[in-house]
Structures are given as C-alpha cells and as structure tokens.
Amino acid sequence: MRRYYLSKLGQALVTIALVVLVVFTLLRFMPTTGYFTKEEFREMDDVAKNAYLRSIGVLDPTLVQLKNFLVKLSHGDLGRSMTLYPKSQIKDILSDKIKYSVMFNAFSWIVSAFIGMPLGIAMAKNKGGPIDSAGTAYVVAVRSIPSIIIHFFVQVYVSRLFNLPMLFYIDNPRSWILPTISLSLGSIAGYAIWLRRYIVDEENKDYIKFARVKGLSQNYIMVRHVFRNAIVPIAINFPSDFLLLISGSLIIEGLYSIPGMGGLLIKSIQALDNNLVQILVLMFSTLSVFGVFLGDIFVSFVDPRIKLTDSPE
Amino acid sequence: MADPAHGAKNFGTIRNVVKGLADYYYDLADIDDGKDIGKTRDEVVASFGETVGVKALDRYTLEYTLTGPTPYLLSYVCLELFLPIEQEFIDQVGEDFGTSKENLLYCGGYYISEWDRDKLVVMAKNEHYWDKDHITLKSLNFEAVADGVSGVELFQRGQVATTRLTSEELSTIKSTEWEDYVYLADKTLTTYWFIYNFESRNPEFQAAIQNLNFRKALYTGIDAVTLSAIWEPEDPEFFCRYTLLPEGCMFDENGMDYTDYPGLVDYKNNPPYDAELAREYMDKAIEELCDADGNIIGVTPGTKVDMLPIAEFTSDGKLPIDILYTCGSSETEMKHALLVKEMLTNNLGSENVNVILGFSNISFSDEVWALDNWDLVHDSYGFRYGDPSANLNRITTDGTLNDSEYEVPEFDALVEKANEIYTINERYAAFAEAELWMLDNAMIKPYMTGGGSYRMTRVVPYTTPEGYFGMVSYKFKGAVIQDTPVTKAQHAQLRKEYEEALAELAGK
Amino acid sequence: MKREKVFEAQNVEIKFNLRGKTLTAVRGASIDLYQGETLAIVGESGCGKSVFAKSFLGVLDKNGWVSGGHMLLDGVDIAQYKTEKEWLKIRGKKIAMVFQDPMTSLNPVKTIGEQIREVIAWHFGTDKEASKQQAIELLYQVGIDNAEARYKQYPHEFSGGMRQRVVIATAIACRPKILICDEPTTALDVTVQAQILQLIKKLQQDLNMSVIYITHDLGVVASVADRVAVMYAGQIVEYGLVNEIFKDARHPYTEALLLSLPQLAVKGSDLQSIKGSPPNLYKEIKGDAFAPRNPDAMKIDYEIEPPFFKVTDTHYAKTWLLHEQARGYVKELSKKQEERVKATPEVDSGSSEKGVLVSLRNVTVDFKLGRKKFSAVKDVTFDIYRGETFSLVGESGSGKTTIGKAIMKICHTSGGDIFYKGKNINKKLSGAELTRFRRQVQMIFQDPMASLNERAKVDYIISEGLYNFRLFTDEQERKRKVAEAMRSVGLSNEHATRFPHEFSGGQRQRIGIARSVVVEPEFIIADEPVSALDVSIRAQVINLLNQLKKDKGLTYLFIAHDLSVVRFISDRIAVMYKGRIVELAGSEELFAHPLHPYTIALLQAAPIPDPDIEREKRVIAYDPSVHDYVTDKPFWAEVAPGHFVWANSHEMAMYEERLAKLK
C-alpha cells in the first residue's frame, strides 16, 4: 500500500516536472515581436528593443533561464510578472487574486451542493413526476441556453428585481449574492442531474431491491445504501474541486468585476508574461495531478472494491 | 529612465532632445551588449550629472539642457518621461517602483488611496496640491467593468459617471430615452493612412508605384467616407482626415491652425475621392507604364512572387497590375480590405488592377513587416507632441516610420530646413510646405482620424482641462458632475461655447 | 399429513404499465402454502412467476400493481396493503426473499456483516453489539467458517456460492415464516448449486419455514419441491405433489415441458420441442393460453378458458382434457405418444474413427494478473474426431472457454501444439492460411443478444462471413447462400430484412448459427450456445445443432456447464477442473463409469428431473486434498479404451479395478 502511494506520488511529480518543462521550453519559442505593439516595434531601434528584452529577462539562454527559475523557486521566490503586471511580485498578485476566487468557489460549492444534491435526490425519488420534470427542465435550460445569456439575465434583471448591486464589492456582502448564484447555476444542474442519474442507477440494482425485501424502509435504504453509493462517483472529484477552488471563472469574474484568478492564465499567455505563465502552469498542474491522486485515495477508502495496490494479493 | 536596463519603451521620444541623453543611453546599451567602449557601467552611470543635461538646481527647480531650440517644449514636457523623481526614493523602492500605491510618488491633484488590482483604483484629493481649491471632486473611483453591457446598465442605474458604448450597445438603446444622452467623443490626434511598398518584391507593383499618376490614381480612387463608416456609421465624414498631421492641436502665434496653412487647407477641406479622376490618372499611368500590348515595361514575365505566409503568386508582367493588400484577420479588418479591393477594382478598372488580399493571422510584425510581405497596407500613428516634426520627422527617407522605403530627398530637405526655423509661424509654414510635397506626390494617403467612440456621461463637458498631449483624459481638476446625464443638446451647446472661447483666445 | 396453511394467494391479477400500454403479467393465479413445505413455481421466462412472488412482498416495480385477488397471511389480506409501513411488517419478518444473482444482491461497499446486522437492528431494535453477535451466528448457521473475521469483509471477497449463503443468512435473519427463493442457484455452478439447495433444505427444517422456489429448472424442482405449481402465461395451469407432476402430468404444457428435457430424451433422436413462443400478454387471451402452441389442442381450447379439474386430492390441472367429454381424445393422444416413442430411430453410433480433425498437445495458457501468473489451461491434450460432438464441461473459470479461444486463435497460448487437419496452427500463419482457417472454424456464442450487431439487418449479419471471405461471385449467389443458410436454421426468407431486436432469444440464436454455417465451416466451436435459452427454446436449438451436424457433416466443440444437455448432444466429453482435463470418455461411458472424484461429484450434483432419484441423492463435495500427489505424480493416461483420466499410478490401479468390477 505504502509502496503504491510512493510510486503514484513519484509519477505525479514526474508529470508535473514534464508539464512545466514543456511549457517553459515552448514559451521560449515564442517570437519576441509579441512583446511590442505594432508602433513600438517600428518606432524603437534595435538597441532599444534589445534593451527592453534584456530588462524583462528573455534574452538569456533557455537553460540559464530555467536554472534561474528553479533556483529562485527553491528559495520560495516566485519572481516578478513581466508584462501583464510589470515588475509586480507574482506572490503578491496571486495572493491578492486567489482569495477572491477561493471565496466565490467555496460559496458556490456550498450552495450547489446544498441545493443540487437535494434537488437530485428529490428528482430521483419523484422520477417521472412534477419535481423531476421541473428539475429536468431546469437542467436542460441551464445546459442549452448559452451561459453568457443566463449570466446577463441574472446580473441585469435579477439585480434589478431585488435591487442588488451589479458589481462585486468586498465590503458589501449583498454584492456577493449574484456572482454566487451565477457560479452555482451550472453546478447545481450538474450535481442534480448526476446524482439523480446515479441514484436511479443504484435503485435498479439488485442489492437495493434485496434491501427492500429485507424489510428496510425506503428512507433507510435511501440514506444507508443508495445515497452512499451514488455519491461515490461524485465524491471522487471532491479533492480536485477543493484544490482547484483557486481557479476562477473567466466569464463570471469578468462580468461582476471580481479581481480573481479567472482568465489570468489566458491573459498571461497573451501578454507573453513567461514568468507568470510558468508559475500558473506549475500551480495548476500540481493541483490537478494531486487532486486526481487524492481522489483515488479518497475513493479507495469509500469503495472497498478498489484496492490501491500495484499487485494483486 | 535613461538606463536601458530599465527597458523604457518610449524612451526614444525624448532621447534626442535632451543633451547627452542619447550618448549616455547608447554607451550603457553597448556595455550591456558586452562591447568594450573603454568605460565601465558604473563610470558611465556616475557621469550622468556631468554628461546629461538634467540638473536639479534646488528643491523645486529642475533644469533641462536641450540639444537645440525646441519651441514646442511645453507640449513636450507633459510626457511622463520628463517628470522628476527623488533619487533617494527610487533607490529605496528599487524594482518595486510603481507596483503598489505606496511605491509611487504623487504631485497632482489626487493620489491613489486604494488600489485593488484589476478591480478598483480610488484616487483621493491631494490636500497638499498647490491648486487644491480647484479640485472639485473629493475622490475618483476607476472601476474595472469587463463588459460593455454591464457598463451601460451601471450608467443607467446611476452607479457610474461615464461609460463607453459599442455600436451594438448603441443599437440596443436606440429609440429609448437614453438615446439622447449618447454623444460621440472627439476624434483623436491619431491619423490612419495608406502606405505603399516602394521596394516590393512584387515587380508589377514595384514598377507601378514609382509612377506619380498611378499613386494619384490610388489616392483618388479610395473613398475615405466609406471606410470610416465601418467604425462610425453615424457620422463618417466627421472622422475623415485628409492631412498627415491632425487639426486642432497646433496653433501659430495668430491662432491659425497648422492645417489651415496655405495648400494644406485645400487638402483638409476637399475630400480627394473622385472615381472619374482616378480613372483618368490610371489611364495616364498605364500609358506611361506599359507598351501597346499591355506589358508592363521593365517587368520580366513569369516572376514568382513569394510572400508567404501572406500570399504567393506569379507575375505575368502584363496588365492588370497585381496589388497585394495585406491586413489583419479581424472581422473589421477583413471588411475594410474587401471594401478597398472593391473600390480599387471598380474605380481603376479590373483590367488595370488586380487586388490580391492577404491576411496575417498570427503576428503582423512577424509576418508582414519583418518579411516585407505587402504592397499596400493601412496603418495608423499617434501624434505625441505639438509640433509638425513629431510625425513629419519620422517619415523622411531615413525616418523610423518609412516602411515604404521611398526616397524623397526633396521632402527630406524641406523637413531639415523647417526643423531649423524656430519662430512658430515660419516653422509651421515650412513644415506645411514639406507636408504638401508629400501629399502632392501622393506618397502617403491619409484618410481617417482615430477616436470617436460613443459615450454617455454625467461629467459636465469642458469643465476639466482640455488639451491633446499628455494624460489629458485623466485630468479631473474642476470636474463637475450633474445628476442627469449630459444630453446631446447640452453637449453641443457646451462644445460651441468652448470653441468660441478658444477662437476668442486665439484672437488675442 | 395435513399441515397448517400459512399463506394463500387467490386469483391474483397483476398489471404493468409499459410505455402507455397495459400488460397483464399475472392473470388470476392462486396458490396455497402449507407450514414447512416446499412449493416450486415452475415456468419459462415471462410466465409471470417472479412477478407473482414479488407481489407477496409488495415489491413490484413502480409501474406494476396488484389489480385483483387476495393474498391471505395470518388471516389478513395483504393484497390490500397500500402503505410502506404496512408492508414493512411483512417484509423480511414474515416473508423473506432470495434473489437469483448473489453477485449483485449485496451492496458492494458495505461489509457483509453490516448488511445482515442492519436487518436485525432494524426489525427488532437490537443494539449494535447484540445484533452483531446474532449476525455472526447466522453466518455460522449458513456454513460460513470463521464468521467473526468474515463479518468484516466485503462482498467481493466472497465467491458466488458464499455470497449466496450470506444472502440467505440475511433473508432468514428475522426467522421468517416463508422464504421465497427466486432462481436461487441459476447463476451458480452445479456443484455449488447442490450445496446451496442442501443448505436451504436444512435451514427450512431447522427454522420450520415454508419455502417457495421460483425456477425454470425442473431438475432443481425434482430435487427440492414437495409440491409443484406450473405457471404459463400468467396463470397456474397445473399443481400437485412433485411426483404427480413429474410422473403423471396432465396439462399439455407440463407434458411438453417435461418432454423437452434432454435428460428424458433418447439420444440420437430429436428432443421434443414446443413450437412457437409464449403469448403476448398485452392482448386479451382467449381460451387456453397454450392452445396455439399445442399441436393436439381441441377446438374448445381456443374458445373457453378451462377451469381446474381435480386429478387427485392434491393434483389439479387447468385443461379441458380432464373433462369427461375429452376422455376418448385423451386415449387417442396417449396412443399417438407411444407410437412416437417407438418410432425413435436407433442411436447413430457410427461417428467414431473418422480421423482426427483437431488435436491439442500439451496446450498451456498462462495469464498474468499484475505480477502473478496463473494458468487458465494446464497441459491439455485431446483429439476431436471428424463428425463428432466433443464437449468440454466444467465450472466457470475452469478454462473451457479459453481452450475454445485458443483453438480459434483469438487467445495466445504459452505452450503446446494445436493441429487442425494435421497442420500445426499454434504459430504465426500466413494471411491466406489464416483466412482459410478462419473460414473453416466458426464460433457460436452464448449470448445471442450481445453477439449480434444491433444496427445491422439480418441479411447483412449473415452475409458478413461471405463478404469477409469473398465466397460469392455475384449478388444473386450471395442472396441464394443467405437464403439457404436461413432455411437450414429454420428462419424464413422474410426475416432477412429485419433487425435482431425484432427476434426472440431462440430466433436470435438461430441467426447466430446461420451466420456461422453460411461460410460452410467444417468445425464449429459452440460456447454455451443454449445456456441463456428457456427449456422449450433450448430444445429447438439443440435439435437444430444436431440436424446441421447430420446434414453438413459438421464437427462440434461444445462448451457447456449443463450436464444434461452435454450428455444428450455429445459423443465424447472432457471434464475440466481448474485448467486441467481430469477425465475424458465417451458420453455414455462417462456417465456410466465416472472415475475421477471430481467427475463423480459433478455428475452427482447435477439435478435430475426425477423426484425419486433426487430424493435419494447424496451430494458429494469434491475435495482436491484426497489426492496425494506429493510423491506419486499424476499423469494423463488411458484407463480403458477411449477413457482417459488424470491420476497417479496408485489411483490408476484403483480406477482400473473399479472399472473391471463394474463391467
């Protein structure tokens, strides 16, 4: 068992190292013209251009840059942003931004779990009935209407209706409501429809039928047998969800003007902000890989059939 | 700022104006490049006080020694590059300069009191400002609103004082009460123009573009209004510009606008577009360029023109003349290109010109400029300080903006001469003569101004300092905010008053 | 011996709503159940027996309901129960149920102990420790050793038979008066099946329960039942004591069902099969539901539904044949039947010594599971002669299917040679050789549903082989060949344009067979071809396979676990145990003189549809430790002509002695 964890851990680390290395190298293949606007490119002479590129540190050979990156990283220095937030400490940028994304993702996680799961259960219990139909209509609507339209609707009309602020302000908790709703709409649908599906699947299993003939009540079966088993495929994502709380939503953070992590990676790539891209890729890949890793471990505790060993007993 | 290690991108703008600055910069750049110039970096840096014409005389006086007379200095020093900073402060904050509100220095009417990255900048009134009585707004909130629709909605709810609208957003409030509040922001100093590649690898175009009549055919064959309407369907004429330099920002001692100088004023006021005239020019050009069989003289048939990744074609040395029009791949750019193609084909005749469209997908700099993959492009330039030299100096034969690679010794001489005249009226006259030469010879075709976005605001227009240079759009001294949005009528009225005041001022 | 009646179902009618249509699954069925007795409800799939039994517990699927009749338990009509609360007093406590598949009856993520304990705690409110103790006792009671440790284990750590024991322990946890066993052993191997049946019998006596068996397997019925109720198309058509049903069946359906059993048939002749398929329960059924399938049906059978006629005090049948007016006709029929039996042709024993077609020499197949290696097939050697049916029997996991795959060359081997027509094929063949081989050797699979492409028409499915091997010159020839193949398996031409889902299980298996025979193979590997089929359909397919063999001179390798079918169809049989063939002999020889202890156990365990034999039977469990192979190594040898056995020299001597004595 222990050996298995160690070898999995090793694999995870190798994966992360490879991802970082590949991204690091690819970034260095980007043409440096990207660092200049059209006008700057022609206005500046070669000396000035070179001076600029040197000042942001892209003229060193790739290996030297990699060495510097790793050495700094080992000292806990994430470096400075190059172009997106010139000269700002990446540490500061991230610590500023992560808190917003974590805050909203946590809210949304709680809201969607507390609404989505009961909804899913209610739909499954009421299969074919009005609650199920209404829930399905909701899920279909959320999934099929382009999300941007729904978010606009929430932002503009719902805020009008309840007189809520349209933009987010950290010191005004009322302004947290709409972004949380927007963020949760999709995941409520997700939780509801998947949980419904897993519960319905479970209910058709022989052992649930057997539990019924054992004389256990419907509620007891639902709680002790169905729900517990149905939650497993959903729970496998919990560690990942938890670790990736820091990744913000591009659309919603933009819409409500939440200065979180949403779109930061995209923006930093567009700005050729190598330093920032590297740190973000390192961070996200680490969290993703460990999320999956933890999910596996987590499930091995929940589901006894899954044994995390590299050889059969 | 003058140290290349700090990578100031726009440093070139002032490098040659202040005495000793260019040498100082290049010495350091050479050292950084590993060249031996007989001095160490520390020596050069230490010599700044002696070699460079910047000196702090006392606590409140800074002396700049210039390379020569600079009559437009006032419009120049409002560039942020000229702002002084305490050495002690910069030594203390080092690389962190400007990365937080504490690592900045303030001398204006406001200072940053709150800075939430990507979210909000709050500027509070500076109680130490010399003219603090004229600071009317106690604090300014600059808020990030990623989406235009939200911006409009926020404005309608009275939660923001001013907002921009795209054409789509404008159409959504058309025929509502809000339509009356939308006004067009003024045009900017940026000029859009077409340039031609005089050293093109496309032999047909290379041969043709040397011909004045051909250039005039292009000059008269493209309708600026049609193109301007892509961006400004409401009032396209207003945003057309037919001079190289912008109007309304340079006035001589008599208050006369630079663009109203003799010769230029005709260009300014007369749209050059004339399809019939264009055809005449084209016919003349063909007579001069081609033999009786329609072979372009001096062009070897069957030359392969390799302008990949933009285009690749074979030149047959015959009419029609191939013209590679290169542009970016955004929707508006493509629309623009198709309109240009249609106008040239219709007005000059498809038997005479063949416009090939080339689109750059990734990087215009890498794919077009660096590889010289173009015959005709449209381009735009800002105008950074209040003197014709700001842009005319850049389009001489050796100028940094001469991507056309034309040789214009006459123009060079005129510019050189103008640069040495330091009385404004004569200086403007000389520059006007130079610009006129460029226009007469149709070396560049200006057609449109920048700016002109739709706005709604509650800030009463013309209460803040006006001007074209420096950070004008961020000046809020004296700003007055009214409860209701500014209507079109109010805006027009105030604009009229402003222009009258300006004219009166000029009259003095 | 008159015992107390514990349960009575009267005229129960059950309906289902399926896609807007109403299906009557049970049409007025009645049964009585007496204290301590075992009642078997027998019928083919779709006859409504499971639904009927489920209704006793109120656990019909959500779209089904009891629309009529009474169910009396302790004087209360539980058919009137509506609420869950009412049913909870019955379920588990008074009536318990065991399902068919032990692999899926237990929650995989809970310990088995917990799953037993929760029932006790739930019904009696027993505290945790006490209910745990009771659960452990129950585990011992159902024959699970070391129950304290196994209490904490999860279902996947148990074998199928063990799981079924756990399920039974759960079912009897509350000492129910009635235990309903719905096909409790169908998913198990024969030897395990015998043990489970024995366990249920023992528990029944210990707890004084009444047991209702729901099954299609007449062998099981003969072995366990006191009384039998035969169900057809939602009705009980005949019921009586087990001997009365097996020896003196009166309803034509019961008779046909018994006749279609291979155990009762004469080898070499056709099995009696029932034509057609059960009636559509969506429609109203007029008269005797079995009449359309009964070649000897009378006119009245089509018009008026027969009442129950009394045969004896305990034996009733719902057929007009028992009406006094039909007496003459009955005599006529029995005469006809006697003639039919007499007309049976002699056993065709001419299949021996026609030359070897397939020959395996020391074939071994190893699989790797992680780092562990295990042999699915160990050092197997045998020959299959041209024109014979050679059967491999054994429990699941014994390696019989692997051998089939190895011969098909769709499974690697780790050693040994396989000769087909004298040519070693257990090596890389050239493309042309492989194509020829693939055409000559075809396979028929167990699950006719899964092995047919659902989206292709029958015409294409059958033609696939023709396309693959380019066995036709023009479209006309292809069509002719397809039509020919379809006719040979008893499908009509019009079926060609339909899709597989439009066919019943038996017809699908015919399509599967047609697909194989159309390329004119010489050798067919049939992997459990009839296991998924109902008794009456099974007989049809077995007849078909035999017919094809005769007509086309085919050779079969028949892989099966059902000994009755194997005995009927095979010329020679090889018994496999854990990857090894332990005994090989001619079919009759093997059944008459089994030598290897495993073979004996296997033959003993197989239920025989004769209550007299079954009642006398002792189940012997095979224990590999009887062999002492440490010093005296076993080997593969011919103990009598054509009779091979895996044994060491000591055992061999013993076997020879025994054979000599028997003969």
Structure tokens at C649: 């020299």
Chain C partners of A225 at a C-beta cutoff of 8 Å? 107, 110
Cβ-based neighbours of B391, under 8 Å, separated by 6 or more: B191, B244, B245, B381, B383, B401
The token pair at A180 is 């949380």
Chain-chain contact of A305 with C108 (C-beta, under 8 angstroms)? yes
- Identify whether the C-beta of residue C592 lies closer than 8 Å to the C-beta of residue C661: no
Residues of C in contact with A210 (CB under 8 A): 97, 99, 105-106, 167, 170
Q: Which of A53, A87, A254 comes nearest B99 by C-beta?
A: A87
- Let me know the angle formed at the C-alpha of A172 by A170 and A178, rounded to the nearest 5 degrees: 90
Which residues does chain B have within 8 Å of residue A34's beta carbon, measured at their own beta carbons?
Answer: 363
Using the Cβ of A228 and the Cβ atoms of chain C, whether some distance falls under 8 Å is answered with yes
Q: What is B188-451's CATH number, 3.40.50.2300, 3.90.79.10, 3.40.50.920, 3.10.105.10? A: 3.10.105.10
Nearest Cα to B180, choosing from B493, B487, B456, B483? B487
Taking a C-beta distance cutoff of 8 angstroms, is the pair B408, B443 a contact? yes
Rg of chain A in Å (alpha carbons): 24
Distance, CA of C564 to CA of B492 (rounded, Å): 104
CB nearest A39 (choices: B26, B97, B381): B381
Query: What are B289-322's pLDDT values in tens digits?
Result: 988 888 888 888 888 888 888 888 888 888 889 9
Question: What ranges do the domains of chain A cover?
Answer: 92-272
Say what the ipTM of the complex is: 0.79
Partner A contacted by B157 (CB < 8 A): yes
Q: Hey, are the CB atoms on B144 and A257 less than 8 Å from each other? A: yes
Give the pairing of strands C178-182 and B444-451.
unpaired
Q: What angle do CA C78, C84, C86 make, to 5 degrees?
A: 40
Q: B118 in contact with A at a CB cutoff of 8 Å?
A: yes
List the domains of chain C with CATH numbers: 252-342 (no CATH), 356-593 (3.40.50.300)
List of E strands, C327-480? 356-369, 372-385, 389-393, 415-420, 423-424, 441-444
C contacts of A311 (beta carbons < 8 Å): 370-372
**Using CA atoms, how far apart are residues B438 and C72, in angstroms rounded to an integer?**
111
HSE of B439, CA atoms in CB hemisphere, 13 A: 25
Domain B119-167+452-507: assigned CATH number: 3.40.190.10
The residue extents of the domains of chain B are 4-102, 119-167+452-507, 188-451
Question: DSSP string spanning C119-144?
Answer: HHHHHH---HHHHHHHHHHHHHHTT-
DSSP secondary structure, B145-187, as one string:
---HHHHHHHHHTTS-SEEEE-HHHHHHHTTSGGGGG-EEPPE
A131 touches chain C (CB under 8 A): no
- The yes-or-no verdict on residue B277 having pLDDT over 50 is yes
Angular region, C13: left φ>0, alpha ψ -120 to 50, beta rest: beta
Q: Is the CB of A225 less than 8 angstroms away from the CB of C107?
A: yes
Residue A243: predicted pLDDT: 80
| Distance (Å, whole) CA B154 – CA A257 | 12
Q: Are the C-beta atoms of residues C56 and A213 closer than 8 Å to each other?
A: no
- Asked if the Cβ–Cβ distance from B9 to A44 is below 8 Å, we say yes
B119 in contact with chain A, both atoms CB, cutoff 8 A = yes
* Cross-chain residue pair C122–A215, CB shorter than 8 Å: yes
The tokens 């005041």 sit on which residue?
A: B501
3-state secondary structure labels for all residues of B343-383: HHHHHHCCCCEEEEEEEECCCHHHHHHCCCCCCEEEEEECC
Confidence band, pLDDT 50/70/90 cuts, at residue B198: very high
Tokens 């031409």 -> residue: C493
Which residues, including other chains, have CB under 8 Å from residue C661's CB and lie 6 or more apart? Answer: none
CB burial of B448-470 (b: ≥16 within 10 Å; e: otherwise) equals: bbbebebbbbbbbbbbbeeebbb
Structure tokens at C475: 């479209």
Interchain contact B12–A (C-beta under 8 A): yes
Q: Tell me whether residues A205 and C104 touch, CB distance under 8 A.
A: yes
Cβ-Cβ contacts under 8 Å for B302 (sequence gap 6 or more)? B314, B315, B316, B317
Q: How far apart are CA C260 and CA C506, in angstroms?
A: 15
Answer whether A touches C (≥3 Cβ pairs < 8 Å). yes
Q: With an 8 Å Cβ cutoff, is B99 touching chain A?
A: yes
Instruction: Output helix, strand, coil percentages for chain B, rounded to the nearest 5.
Output: 40, 20, 40
pLDDT for position C341:
66
Closest C-alpha among B187, B178, B129, B174 to residue B155? B178
Q: Which residues have CB under 8 Å from C76's CB, separation 6+? A: none
Query: Among B305, B312, B344, which residue's Cα sits nearest to residue B204?
Result: B305
Question: Which residue from A minimizes the CA distance to B400?
Answer: A43
CA distance A182 to chain B (A): 15
Architecture in CATH of A92-272:
Orthogonal Bundle (1.10)
Q: How far is Cα B265 from Cα B435, in angstroms, rounded to an integer?
A: 11
- Please tell me the distance in Å from B405's CA to the nearest CA on chain A: 13
Q: Which two tokens stand for residue B195?
A: 């340039």
Judged by a CB distance cut-off of 8 A, whether residue B95 touches chain A is: yes
Q: Where are the alpha helices (DSSP H) in chain A?
A: 2-28, 38-43, 46-56, 62-74, 90-125, 130-144, 147-153, 159-162, 177-203, 206-213, 218-221, 228-235, 238-243, 250-255, 264-270, 274-302
The pLDDT tens digits for A149-204 are 888 888 888 888 888 888 888 888 998 999 999 989 988 998 899 999 999 888 88
| Sign (positive or negative) of CA dihedral A258, A262, A265, A267 | negative
- Separation in Å, CA of A43 to nearest CA in chain B: 6
The answer to whether the CB atoms of A48 and B9 lie below 8 A apart is yes
Considering only CA atoms, give the Rg of chain C.
26
Q: What is the mean pLDDT of residues B79-93?
A: 85
Report the C-alpha gap between C268 and C567 in whole angstroms.
11
Question: How far apart are the C-alpha atoms of C26 and C236, rounded to whole Å?
Answer: 9
Contacts with B60 (C-beta within 8 Å, 6 or more apart), sequence order: none
> Residue A1's pLDDT band (boundaries 50, 70, 90)?
low
Q: How many CB atoms lie within 10 A of CB C367?
A: 14
- Pairing mode, strands C415-420 and C572-577: unpaired
pLDDT tier, B508 (very low <50, low <70, confident <90, very high otherwise): low
Note whether C556 and C532 are within 8 A (CB). Answer: no
pTM: 0.74
Shortest Cα–Cα distance, C107 to chain A (Å): 5
Stretch A48-76: mean pLDDT: 85
Contact C96 A224 (CB under 8 A): no
Measured between beta carbons, the chain B residues lying within 8 angstroms of A257 are 119, 143-146, 150
Number of neighbours of residue B279 by Cβ within 10 angstroms:
18
Chains contacting A (3+ CB pairs below 8 angstroms): B, C
Of residues C133, C129, C192, C199, the one with CA closest to residue C171: C199
Q: What is the token pair recorded at C419?
A: 């000769």
Q: What is the pLDDT, as a whole number, of residue C371?
A: 66
Does C370 contact chain A (CB < 8 Å)? Answer: yes
Residue B483 forms contact with A (CB below 8 Å): no
Q: How far is CA C125 from CA B209, C110, C117, C119, in A?
A: 101, 20, 11, 9
d(CA C523, CA C521): 6
pLDDT at B127: 92
Q: A65 by DSSP, 3-state: which?
A: helix
**Structure-block tokens of residue C335:** 């005469």
Q: What is the pLDDT of residues C345-397, one digit of tens each?
A: 555 544 445 688 999 999 999 887 666 778 889 889 999 999 899 999 988 88
Minimum CA–CA partner of A204 in chain C: C61
Q: Which residue in C has a C-alpha nearest to residue A230's C-alpha?
A: C109
d(CA A21, CA A15): 10
pLDDT digits (tens, 9 = 90+) for B237-276: 888 999 999 988 888 888 888 999 999 999 999 999 999 9
8 Å CB contact between C413 and C365: yes
Smallest CA–CA separation between A207 and chain C, in Å? 4
Report the distance separating Cα C209 and Cα C388, nearest Å: 48
Residue A311: the pLDDT is: 43
Nearest CA in chain A to C176: A214
Query: In terms of CA atoms, which chain A residue is nearest residue B7?
Result: A52
pLDDT-derived band at A310, boundaries 50, 70, 90:
very low
Which candidate, C142, C222, C208, places its Cα nearest to that of C178? Answer: C208
Q: Which of C518, C411, C539, C424 is nearest to C462 (CA)?
A: C518
- Are the Cβ atoms of A304 and C108 closer than 8 angstroms? yes
Cα–Cα dist B139/B126, whole Å: 9
Shortest CA distance from A218: residue in chain C:
C84
Residue numbers in chain C where pLDDT is lower than 50: 1, 349-352
User: What is the secondary structure of B25-45 as a DSSP string?
Assistant: HHHHHHHHTT---SS-HHHHH
Task: Give the three-state DSSP class for B54.
Answer: strand
Which of A39, A88, A257 lies nearest to residue B99, judging by beta carbons?
A88
* Cβ within 8 Å, pair B33-A50: yes
- Chain C: touching chains (3 or more CB pairs < 8 Å): A
